[in-house]
Structure 1
Amino acid sequence: MTADGPSIAQRRADLEREFAPWRPRTLDEHFEHVAARFAARPYVITGDRVFTYEDVLRQAHRFADGLAALGVRAGDHVGLLMANYPEYEPLKLAIARAGAVAVPLNYLYRTQELGFVLRQSCSRVLITMTSFRNQDYLAMLDELAPGWERAGSIGFGDLERVLTLDPEGKGEGREGVLDVPELERIGAASPGAARGGLRGPLEMSDIMYTSGTTGEPKGVQLSHDALLRQVYGSAYCRALPDGNRSVFALPCYHMFAYEQGVQAATFVGGAVLPQPRFDAGEYLRAIEQHRVNDVLAVPTMSVALVEHPARRDTDLSSLDRMLSAAAVAPTWLWERIRSDLGVRELTTAYGMTEVGGATVMTQPDDPLEVTASTVGRPKPSGAASEAGGPIAEYRILDPATGEPVPPGEPGELVARGPTTMLGYWNRPEETAAALRDGWLYSGDLGRALPDGSLVITGRSKDLFKSGGELVMPKEVEDFLSGQPGVSQAFVVGVPDDRWGEAGCAFVVPEPGAVPDPAALVEDCRENLARFKVPRHVFVLGADEVPQTPTGKVQKFKLVPIARDRLGADVFVRALSPADSA
Structure 2
Amino acid sequence: MFDGFIRDNASWTPRAPAVITPWGRYSYTTFDADIDRVARALADRGIGPGAGVVAVAIAQPYLQLVAIAALARLGVCGAPGRDYGADLRLTDLDDLDAGPPVLRLFPDEAAAILAAEPRRLPQLELDPEDLGQVIPSSGTTRTPRRVGLSWRRIEVGNYANLRSYAAGKAGTWAPVTGVESMLGFSMTVGAWSVGAAVAWGFRIGDIPLLMEQLEPGIIGMTPRQLRELLSILPAGFQPRPDWRVCAAGSLLPAASAREARLRLTPDVRIVYGSTEASLLAVGHAADLEEHPGIVGRTPSGSILEIVGEDGRPVRDGEPGEFRITGERMSQGYLGDPEASAERFRDGWFHTRDVGRRLPDGRLILEGRMDERLDLGGFKFMPQELEQAAFACAGVVDCAAFAAEDAEGITRCWLATVSEPGFDRGRLAQHLAAWPDLPEIHLAWIDAIPRNAMGKIERDVLRERLLAALRGG
Q: Into which bin does the TM-score normalised by the smaller protein fall?
A: 0.7 to 0.9
Matched, 1:378 2:298: yes
Instruction: Say whether residues 1:361 and 2:282 are aligned partners.
Output: yes
- Residue 303 of structure 2 corresponds to 393
Q: Tell me the secondary structure at the aligned position of residue 327 of structure 2.
A: coil
- Quote how far apart the aligned CAs of 1:340 are: 2.0
1:227 to 2:157 alignment: no
Match in the other structure for 2:65: 89
Amino acid at match of 1:369: E
CA distance in 2, matches of 1:363, 1:104: 30
| Corresponding residue SS for 2:370 | coil
1:436 lines up with 2:436 in the alignment: no
Distance 1:570 1:226 in 2: 48
Does the CA-based 8 Å contact 1:395-1:413 persist in structure 2? yes
State the 1:302 CA deviation.
Answer: 2.2
Give the residue type in structure 1 aligned to 2:31: V
Change (3 A) 1:426 1:278: same
Match of 1:71 in 2: 46
Residue 339 of structure 1 aligns to which amino acid in structure 2? L
Which of residues 282, 289, 298 is equivalent to 2:222? 298
Post-superposition CA distance 1:490-540 (Å, at most 9, x none): xx998475776548695xxxxxxxxxxxxxxxxxxxxxxxxxxxxxxxx95
Secondary structure of the equivalent of 2:124? Answer: coil
**Counterparts of 1:59 and 1:340, CA distance in 2:** 38
Letter in 2 for 1:241: G
Partner in structure 1 of residue 457 of structure 2: none
Task: Give how far 1:254 is off.
Answer: 0.6
Instruction: Find the counterpart in structure 1 of residue 358 from structure 2.
Output: 449
Task: Tell me what 1:256 maps to.
Answer: 183
Q: CA separation in 1, counterparts of 2:428 and 2:103?
A: 46
Paired position in structure 1 for 2:379: none
Aligned 8 A contact 1:237 1:363 in 2:
no
Unaligned runs of 5+ in 2: 374-381, 417-423, 435-472
SS at match of 1:461: helix
Is residue 56 of structure 1 aligned with residue 31 of structure 2? yes
Q: Give the alignment partner of residue 216 of structure 1, picking from 143, 149, 157.
A: 143
Matched residues in 2 for 1:190 and 1:54: separation? 11
Distance 1:402 1:458, change over 3 A: same
Residue 276 of structure 1 and its aligned partner are, at CA, apart by: 4.3
Whose helix proportion is higher, 1 or 2? Answer: 1
Which residue, out of 95, 112, 128, partners 1:139?
Answer: 95
Q: Which residue identity does 1:326 align to in structure 2? A: G
**1:11-39 CA deviation, whole Å, 9 max, x = no partner?**
xxxxxxxxxxxxxxx22234333443332
- SS at the partner of 1:362? strand
Q: Given the two structures, how large is their TM-score scaled by the length of structure 1?
A: 0.63
Aligned to 1:323: 246
> Per the alignment, in what secondary structure is the counterpart of residue 40 of structure 1?
coil
Amino acid at match of 1:162: L
Instruction: Provide Cα deviations, 1:125-158, integer angstroms capped at 9, x if missing partner.
Output: 212342xxxxxxx3344xx3xxxxxxxxxxx7xx
> Which of the pair has the greater relative contact order for Cα pairs under 8 Å at 6+ separation?
1
| Aligned residues of 1:201 and 1:223 also touching (Cα < 8 A) | yes
How many residues get paired?
410
Judged with a 3 Å threshold, the aligned counterparts in structure 2 of structure 1 residues 34 and 463 are, in CA distance, closer, same or farther, namely: farther
1:181 aligns with 2:111: yes
Q: How big is the shift at 1:403?
A: 1.1
Name the SS of the counterpart of 1:68 in structure 2. Answer: helix
Alignment of 1:162 onto 2:103: yes
Q: 1:105 to 1:66 in 2, by over 3 A?
A: same
Q: 1:255 and 1:568 mapped to 2: Cα distance? A: 38
Q: Which residue of 1 aligns with 2:456?
A: none
What aligned pairs does 1:173-572 form with structure 2 within 5 A after superposition?
Answer: 179-181=109-111, 184=114, 188=116, 191=119, 195-197=122-124, 199-212=126-139, 215-238=142-165, 240-241=167-168, 243-260=170-187, 262-279=188-205, 282-310=206-234, 312-341=235-264, 343-356=265-278, 358-362=279-283, 369=289, 373-379=293-299, 390-398=300-308, 400-462=309-371, 495=386, 502=399, 540-541=405-406, 543-544=407-408, 546=409, 557-560=410-413, 569=427
Q: Report the secondary structure of 1:79's partner residue.
A: strand
Which segments of 5 or more consecutive residues in structure 1 lack a partner in the other structure?
1-25, 107-116, 131-137, 145-155, 167-177, 380-389, 465-491, 507-538, 547-556, 577-581
Letter of the aligned partner of 1:360 in structure 2? A
Give me the whole-angstrom Cα distance separating, in 2, the residues matched to 1:571 and 1:267. 51
Q: For 1:80 and 1:359, how far apart are their aligned partners in 2?
A: 27
| Matched AA of 2:214 | H
2: CA distance, partners of 1:240 / 1:220? 26
Please state whether the residue corresponding to 1:354 is helix, strand or coil.
coil
Residue of 112, 127, 149 corresponding to 2:90? 127
Q: Structure 1 residue 371: deviation in Å? A: 7.8
Q: CA offsets per residue over residues 209-247 of structure 1, 9 Å max, x none?
A: 125598222100111221222222222213543632233
1:40 pairs, out of 6, 11, 15, with 15
Change (3 A) 1:30 1:463: farther
Distance of aligned partners of 1:441 and 1:429 in 2 relative to their CA distance in 1, 3 Å threshold: same
